[in-house]
Every structure is written in structure tokens, then in C-alpha cells.
Structure 1
Amino acid sequence: MLNRVLGRWLLMLTGYATVVASGFMIGVGGAATAAGPLALVSYWVFGGLATFASAFVFAELATMFPKCGGIWEYTKQSFGNDHPISFMVGWIYWFALLFGLNVELVSVGIYLHELVPTIPEWAGALATAILFLVFNYVGVKLSTIIEAGFGIILILSSATFILLGIGQINPEFYMNFAPNGTFMPLMKTLPFVIIAFCGFEVVATLAEESKNPEKDIPKALIGAASFLTILFGGFATVLFGLLPAAELSTNAPLIKAGGLIFGGIGLAWLSIQSFAGSMSTVNGGVMGQTRIMYAMAREGWFSQVFAKVDEKHNIPKGALYFTGFSMIAVSILPSITERAWEWAGFLGVFGYAVSYIMACILLLYLRRKHPEMNRPFRVPLYPVMPILGIVLYSLAILFSGLEIIIVGIAWALMGLIYYYAFGRASRKRHLKNQEERLHLNES
């Protein structure tokens, strides 16, 4: 069993800090290319709606099933542990966390190299991986305190940038508001905009370690969604008023804006913010993927090595060690080929969107099939919110491109192969061992 040591504010700041990384800081350049200043509407409207929809959905599901495991736990409780759909949801979400957040290690290496050119990118990424493994080994409370610290820094820095930037907005940059048209350009911004918000639901995987999950998890999720919508919407509005959209179509538009508008201080400031954002996402990724793997191993789907809990620190050490191995592997991907990092990011995008869609479908299913179940939190504007989530995340996948869809389907097929070739056998051995231990205890 894991200890209930996390309060509402630690949870909320964890959800906020886990997301504020290169998903927005780099992705806004892609959104600018697709739609020009019109992209800021997408951050406020599509990003905000999708984020609140998923926050409400995860809040209801997490309070119904307050255990670690997130979307996998909810699916398992609904369809049964041995159902292939249950396994596949856990498989896809685990991989989304594994790669979707771990690729931020590469961003940390890039930002650290920019700040201290003598440090190679791979070295910065590797050192960061080891650092956060140590923090998480000490215990989840220390990890969330560190994450909360990043959250406070990012909130203050973001608010300062927005407030200072408002005073320097040039209205002329908004004049050619939709240079490429309206509907299709907005649709093309969806992968950049919606995926920028992904990751805050990692709070739900910490429900088993929350002091009061029925109250604190919904407040943390909705609070994080509110912060993120205001942050990304405000950032986008200011950015498109500080620089022409063409100048934002770069790999690091936020840093460029800081340098051009605020000089050397702005360049250093926004570089440090970007660096801190990626660091916080890495830490959140360690917490989330470790607990998903632990939860699935605890039920027999992976080796019991990954279900071992350190008695002193009360952390899932087996899953943490594997997470560390995966982080180290991802941190050196760019030194092999830049293409490997890109594909890892594609898998994260696909995994998040599919997981959110599944959560929305699951909520609709449970409301219809099991209306009698206890729901400490209920999604407002039901069924509009879960349906809206399904539509927006489906469009995000569709407009991400054929390559992302192919890679995502390939990973899902690998999951099916694992399920039928190894997973079911591992699960049967686990159940048999449990039964034998029960008989020994009874005798």
C-alpha cells in the first residue's frame, strides 16, 4: 500500500507544472505557421474546452475509483481486469507517459546547453534523469514538493511576462488576423494547441496517495485546467501582439520573443523558464509512469519485480528502476538520430489523445450502465463535456498527420501481441501464486 501524504495544493501545482514545457513553448511556432494570429483563439477556445472536458471527466472517474493507475484503473473496474480493452488502455497510457513526458529530457538538455554551452545536450539530459530518479526514490512527497516549487516559479514567471508584454503589444500585428483563412487553419492548430495541455491528468494517478481524494483530486484537476487555460491563452495573445506571426514560426518562439522585446535579460529569463518547465514535466512523468507500471504489475500484467515497494521510502522501486532505464535511453536518443526523438514524441501525442478519448467514452458507458454507482464528483453539463472531449481529441489525432496515426497503431498492435503472447500468461501465474498464498495462510 502507498501512503496518503498529498494535499490539494501539492496535487494542483503538480498538475500545472507537469504541463508547462516545450509542448507550448515550441508548439506555438507550429500554430503560428498554420493560422497566424488566429491561433490565439484556438488556445483560448479549443485548448480550454478540451482541457476542462478532460479535467471534469478524470475528476469523476478518479473519485469513483481513487487508486493509482489512472485511466487503466477506471477501465479495469468497468470491464474487468482480464479484458483486452482494459489492458490496451493501460498499455497506451503508460506509453504516452513513457515517451510523451520523457522526451522533455531532450528539451532540458537543449536548454541547459544554451545556458551553459560547455555542457553537451546528452549530458544535461542524462544528469537530469538521474537527479529526478533520486528525488523520486526518496519519496512521493518530496517529488511533489519539488513539482509544486516548479509550479510556483512558472506561475510567477508567466504572469510577469504577460503583464509586462501587454504594455508593449503592437495592435498592427493583429491586423492580418487570419492570413491563411479560418476553418481549416484552425483545425491544423489543434495538434499543437490541444496536446500542449496534455499531462495534467497525472494528478489522477496519485489518487491513492492523496489525503482526501474525493475532494482534493477534482479541485486539483479543475484548478490546474483553469491555470493552464489562462496561461496558454494569455501567453498566445501577448506573443502575437509582440511579434509578427512569421517571426514566431521558429523552434523556440518564446525565447526569441523574450530576447527581442526584453533584450539579454529577457533571453536569459525565458530560457530559464523553458528549462524549468521541461524539468517539471520530466519530474511529473517519473511520478506518473512509475505508478501506472506499478499498478499494472501489481495485478500481474508485468513481472512482479515492477510491483515491489521499498519499505523504507514507500515507493514502487521496481517500476521506478525501469522508468530510470527508459529515461536514460530516451535522453541519448538524439545522439543516435534526431528522427528517433521525433518518433518518440509522436507516440506520446497519439497515446495521450487516445487515453483522453477512452476516458470520455468510459464515463458515458458508466453513466448509462451503472447509474447507481457512487459519484462524489459529477461532470457538469453532461453529456456535452465528454462528447466535446471525444470530438476535439479525435480531431487532434486526425490533423496530426498520417505518420502519427501509423506509429500509434503500430504501438497498439505491439500491445496486442504482448497481451496474447505474454501478458495473459503472466496474469495467470500471478493469480495462481495469489491463490497458493491464500491457501497457505488459511492452513
Structure 2
Amino acid sequence: AGLCYAEFASMIPIAGSAYTYSYATMGEGVAWFIGWNLVLEYLFAAATVSVGWSGYFSAMLNEVGVHIPAAFASAPLTVINGHEVVRAFTCVDGTGATLMDATTSAAFVVRDACTAAGGTPVEGLINLPAVLLILALTFLLVRGVQESATFNNIVVAIKMTIVLLVIGFGFMYVNTDNWSPFIPEMVTNPDGSTKYGMSGVLRAAPVVFFSYIGFDAVSTAAQEAKNPQRDLPIGMIASLLICTVLYILMSLVMTGLAPYTALGVPHPVSAALEAVPQLKWLEYLVNIGAVAGLSSVVLVMLMGQPRIFYTMSRDGLLPKIFAKVHPTYQTPAASTWIVGIIAILIAGFFPLGLLGELVSGGTLAAFATVCIGVWVLRARSPELERPFRTPLVPLVPILGAGATIYMMLQLPGLTWALLGAWTAIGMTTYFLYGMRNSTIGKQEAGRQ
């Protein structure tokens, strides 16, 4: 998928990512479908990751004795058992610090479980740290890409340094016995479902996929790049390769420091380091790295979505307000604020237990379409200039589309139902507004 994105980015160096590429190869209807799914990848992902950031930020403050009131550190609703929406509680101890253990999920627990753990349940009102993070990053993005890039470079440098420290020092204490067997044997649960084994690896793939989204966000800033035909393919492929290598090394270190059965907690990196007293000093740095790293993820997601809306608006598929550019900062300011406010509402008030798989589903659909688009355009217009060419076409596009579609099929039924509802809302919007106001539609009506 990365190779296919790189070819399109070098050919069509304008904002819009997969939406623009689909528009150029498969028409307006498919482009709208992809653009609508990209809302899941960028806007919803920004809200989801900001909640994770809030958890690490609160934990970091707890370590220095500063406790955010529990009611203002969690949303009023949460999801348990993968499908049940309940009133959210934050479980706190006598000092007001959040109780974090294997029975919690992002510090949200139902009342009985909290009481049994010796804590006091406090009903959530709003996830204020997540709201303030999105608000600050939205303001930064309105001011300009250069300011945002400087901030992002700083936090990425902090994150990378800490990741490399964990990998470097962690490998010194790895117990290779923890890697045997490397893939644990499949286990059947009392309800008949299974876990572990190769089937578990394949079912986990679309969930882990959430970690890899974002390399395509490079293409959303194409019009603000100095040499997009060269820089975009390099940025996409290099970032994807670097992240993949770091993810593999970090996973090896974590499972080498502690048994995999000890890592099913909200703070797995810290849990792995806790198994080795000599690495205790790294735990504090990990929280700092998580706060820095997740903030940069939210920044990139909040940057990408307004630029996709900007391109869709220029094509007439969204109201003109999304295409307005700030007279001073030359950024899509109105669109950025709209995206930021929606992300704030999602992060602050709504349950996010299902959004990870929902985001993966929407992104997988976009990736599959881009792979197919490269194949289609090679067959339809082989003469077009391609500064970067995907190798081994059609093999690479077929493998890319096949792998992403296969991972989509592994998503649970509830996620498919939500994706179906989201698609229905999107297509209704297209037929009621987009189709009637699209640039292509008006041109065809004028010719008639």
C-alpha cells in the first residue's frame, strides 16, 4: 500500500490523499466513499489517540503527586465487553490517584469491580486533558504548517530517543525463554471462541494495523511541500520502514523482558520494564515519551483531515467554508476549527472502546482502493509521467489490495455494522448535497 501511495503522490502532488487518487482514477462516487472513510482514519483517530494521551498524561502527573480530579479525566460513557455501553467510572484510591491494574481498561471500571479493588468509583463528566490537547493542537495548526512542523520535530525527537533507549538497554536483559514458543498454541475459551495460535495473529492484524496508519498523511500536505514529486515518496516509504523496524524491535524487547501474559494491561511498556529492577529508571521516561509521541500522532491526524475536506470542498462535494484559507496564515483555518471541535466532542464525551477497529476498517478500505487505483491507471493511461513507479505491477497492487481486504474480513460483526451505518450516512449526504453541487455535475449540466 505504501508503494502504491508513493506512485500516486508523485503523479498527483496535491492535497487529498486517497480521496484525490480515487477521484483521478475511479470517479467522483468512489472518491466520495473513500473521502468519507478517511474521516474515520483522521478525525476519529485523533479523538481516540487523544484519550490514550490523556491516560499517560494523568499517570505522569500522578507520579509527581498531581492528581487531576477523576470526574474531569474520563468521558461519561464507556464500552465494556466490546459492545455494551455503560456509565463510566474512574476508580481512585484514598489520595485521589487512579487505580491502574489488570482489571481496568483505560482506568474505566464498573462500580462493583472498583469497590472490590478497594477503590472509590467517581463518575466521569468529561475527559478534560484530551479536550485541552486537541484545542491546543488545533490552534497551533491554524497558525501554520511551519510552526506545527517545528513542534512535531521536537516531540518526535523526544519519542525516538526514548524508544531507542528502551530497545538498547532492554535487549541487555532479554530472557529468550519468553520467546518459546514464539507463537503460543491456540487456546479455546469457555464460550467457544479461541485465542493465540496463527489464527490469533491473523485476527489481531487489523487491530495492530491502527498503529501503522499515518504514513499516508504525508500526502495530505502535498501542496505545502517544496518538491512533492520527490519528497512525498521518500517521506512515505522511509517513515513506514523506520516505524516497522522499531515496532518489531520494541515488541521483541517487551516480550523478552516479561512473559506475554503479563502485558495485557493499559501500560504494557511500563509493565515490561517493571519485570527488570535495573530498568526502573526508564519507566518515568516511557511516560514522557508516550505523552510526546501520542501528541505528535494527534497533530498529524488533525492536520490531515482539514486538507482532505479542503480538496473535497474545492470539488464541490462539501460546503465552501471547508475551502476557505486564512488570509494571514494561509491554512484551511475554518475547516481546521470544525475538525478540532468535532474531535473535542468525541474525545470528551463519547465511548471510544470500539473506535480502534472502526478506524482500521475505514483506513483498510482506503488502502485497498489506492492499490486497485494504481493497477487501473497503469492499464488505462500507461503513458502518464510517473516520477516514482510502484515495482512489479500488477503483483504489488494485487497483494496490497488482497491483504487489506483480508484484514477487513477479520473485523468483528459489530464493527461491520457500524461501518455500514457510517457508509449509509455518507452516501445519503453525497446524494442529497455532493452530487447536486459537485464541479463535475455542474459542468455536465451546463453542457446539456
Give the TM-score, by structure 2 length.
Answer: 0.79
Query: 1:94 touches 1:293 (CA, 8 Å); kept in 2?
Result: no
C-alpha separation in 2, matches of 1:430 and 1:311: 30
String of CA shifts for 1:179-225, please: whole Å, max 9, x gaps: 22443132122123333211211001111111001111111111101
What amino acid does structure 1 have at the position aligned with 2:227? N
Determine the structure 1 residue equivalent to 2:428. Answer: 417
Determine the structure 2 residue equivalent to 1:398. Answer: 409
What amino acid does structure 2 have at the position aligned with 1:170? N
Determine the structure 1 residue equivalent to 2:61. Answer: 116
TM-align CA RMSD: 1.9
1:342 to 330, 353, 356: 353
What amino acid does structure 1 have at the position aligned with 2:205? L
String of CA shifts for 1:380-410, please: whole Å, max 9, x gaps: 2332322222122222222221121221121
Determine the structure 1 residue equivalent to 2:307. Answer: 291
Structure number having the greater helix percentage: 1
Determine the structure 2 residue equivalent to 1:18. Answer: none
Task: Quote how far apart the aligned CAs of 1:176 are.
Answer: 2.6
C-alpha separation in 2, matches of 1:429 and 1:378: 29
C-alpha separation in 2, matches of 1:229 and 1:235: 10
| Structure 1 runs of 4+ with >4 Å offset | 428-432
Task: Quote how far apart the aligned CAs of 1:95 are.
Answer: 3.0
Determine the structure 1 residue equivalent to 2:365. Answer: 354
Task: Quote how far apart the aligned CAs of 1:266 are.
Answer: 2.4
Does residue 76 (structure 1) correspond to residue 87 (structure 2)? The answer is: no
Q: Highest CA radius of gyration, 1 or 2? A: 2
Determine the structure 1 residue equivalent to 2:4. Answer: 57
Task: Quote how far apart the aligned CAs of 1:429 are.
Answer: 11
Local SS of the residue matching 1:278? helix
Determine the structure 2 residue equivalent to 1:220. Answer: 235
In the TM superposition, 1:29-44 aligns within 5 A as none
1:129 to 129, 134, 140: 134
Determine the structure 1 residue equivalent to 2:382. Answer: 371
Query: 1:104 touches 1:282 (CA, 8 Å); kept in 2?
Result: yes
Task: Quote how far apart the aligned CAs of 1:284 are.
Answer: 0.3
Percent of aligned pairs with the same residue?
Answer: 25
What amino acid does structure 2 have at the position aligned with 1:351? G
Determine the structure 1 residue equivalent to 2:253. Answer: 238
C-alpha separation in 1, matches of 2:175 and 2:440: 66
Distance 1:393 1:368, change over 3 A: same
Query: 1:379 touches 1:385 (CA, 8 Å); kept in 2?
Result: yes
C-alpha separation in 1, matches of 2:55 and 2:198: 35
Determine the structure 2 residue equivalent to 1:20. Answer: none
Q: Which has the higher contact order (CA 8 A, sep 6+)?
A: 1
Task: Quote how far apart the aligned CAs of 1:428 are.
Answer: 6.4
Does residue 147 (structure 1) correspond to residue 152 (structure 2)? The answer is: yes
Determine the structure 1 residue equivalent to 2:120. Answer: none
2:324 to 283, 304, 308: 308
Aligned positions, number: 373
Local SS of the residue matching 1:392? helix
Structure 1 residue ranges without an equivalent (≥5): 1-53, 335-339, 436-443
Query: 1:106 touches 1:331 (CA, 8 Å); kept in 2?
Result: yes
What amino acid does structure 1 have at the position aligned with 2:234? K
Determine the structure 1 residue equivalent to 2:335. Answer: 319
C-alpha separation in 1, matches of 2:315 and 2:4: 24
Determine the structure 1 residue equivalent to 2:52. Answer: 107
C-alpha separation in 1, matches of 2:2 and 2:338: 29
What amino acid does structure 1 have at the position aligned with 2:225? S
What amino acid does structure 2 have at the position aligned with 1:311? P
Determine the structure 2 residue equivalent to 1:97. Answer: 42
